[in-house]
Structure 1
């Protein structure tokens, strides 16, 4: 079997360097390109025709294709052939379920270590698919409480908070998601109620504390 061509996307050069180093340990895989924005990623998919795309979930600053759910939807709609691995610290069950329903091939947790990328690529090469294990390990009482509250968020609420936590305004979030300001405000208020926070500062502190959107 020929080498599998892999295209990487992350807005952090150090992450790109680390992922490339891991992948190139195995001669069955070749990193054919790197991208640091969604637009660059889309351009290089068309040019390089990779077998596997490994992309960060959170790559802010790209108005054309966005990131998060908006980017994944675009990738699956316009590039159905390559397998897609998502790099993220997100653990929200509804978001992860939604990603798999869209047709991604796996989620690699940054907190669990990037070595799992090579496990996934090996599975693609030998079996054609990657079967992920469910996360294991006990949570502290505080973490468990936060996890329970986060699990109540819908995919749309989660995406609104993810963008809001980067420091942009509600109007900017509305523009990014192509929704009205009223809709975004309603989703944000609903999410805050579920998370039991009553102001923007408390919401941002919670997002940072939980390291939700790296």
Structure 2
């Protein structure tokens, strides 16, 4: 029997995590060797459990309190040797998806696409090709060639300001909560929006909806 493709799956939504694992276990090539529900757990597993592929949500809280798991994935892609990495996400933002591919992530799967995209990613990447599922491919194809690719990670403070702003708090209220000036908090908000590659309020609202904050 051919050697199984060992896979680790990470997602902070239990239903999504269970669904991905259940589908991958139907693929006779694949053995799901471990699962994680946050980036810290994923970091531990990658260090301790040999695997060939990592399927990771990028919206999970980061290892050091960052807004997402991208900072960890940036470190993981620089390791030698390392598993193939497939980002699994609801974020429909072309600059961020392009940024992930530029980092060295081999595949991007939009959660709105069908589960067979997971197996298709394994096939493509095992054959030396990068992979983007249908929705991700459409977004990337529509992005102008000159647009900068971004895969931003917010610091713990930037993320907290961003989260409170998304909850409806005004800048002045957030400033009072942290004991900072309105100008400082506004600067942190602008920095967060810039790191995420968002250009306007419409894109900001869409992003907040995609990550479940609005």
Give TM-score, length-normalised by structure 2: 0.68
Counterpart among 197, 200, 203 of residue 195 in structure 1: 200
Distance 1:183 1:14, change over 3 A: same
Return the offset for 1:60.
Answer: 2.3
Q: Is the 8 A contact 2:66 2:159 kept in 1?
A: no
- 2:172 is the alignment partner of 1:167: no
For 1:181 and 1:86, how far apart are their aligned partners in 2?
A: 31
Question: What is the 5 A alignment of 1:76-91?
Answer: 76-78=77-79, 80-91=81-92
Give yes or no for contact 2:162–2:189 (8 Å, CA) kept in 1: no
RMSD: 4.0
In structure 2, relative to structure 1, the CA distance for the partners of 1:121 and 1:192 (3 Å cut) is: closer
Change (3 A) 1:80 1:65: farther
Distance, in Å, in 1 between the alignment partners of 2:29 and 2:200 is 45
- Give the whole-Å Cα distance in 2 for the aligned partners of 1:124 and 1:138: 19
- Partner SS state of residue 123, structure 2: helix
Which residue is 2:35 aligned to?
34
* Structure 2 counterpart of 1:129: 129
Tell me, which stretches of 5 or more residues in structure 1 are unaligned? 140-146, 172-179
> What's the CA shift string for 1:77-128, capped at 9, x where partnerless?
2365210000112232221222111111100001123321011123344x24
